[in-house]
Amino acid sequence: MINDEICKLRDKLNKSIEEGKDKEEIYKLSLKLDELIAQFYREKENEKKKKEE
């Protein structure tokens, strides 16, 4: 599920920050996380619309 992917990527991002990884790597992980979160909300919105029909 997308929730699991978000959690795993969030953990990876946090670990990268804590370990002082390269800023470019942290930025890329952050962008991927943002994309997953946006996808999650789009899917939730679509589910909501289907229920209303």
Q: Which domain holds residue 20?
A: 2-52
Q: Which of 45, 53, 43, 47 is nearest to 3 (CA)?
A: 43
Task: Evaluate if residue 53 carries a pLDDT over 80.
Answer: no
Q: In total, how many domains does the chain have?
A: 1
| Segment 11-40, tens digit of pLDDT | 999 999 999 999 999 999 999 999 999 999
d(CA 6, CA 35): 10
CB-CB contact of 33 with 6 (8 Å): yes
Query: What is the structure's pLDDT at 51?
Result: 86
Cα–chain center distance at 44: 14
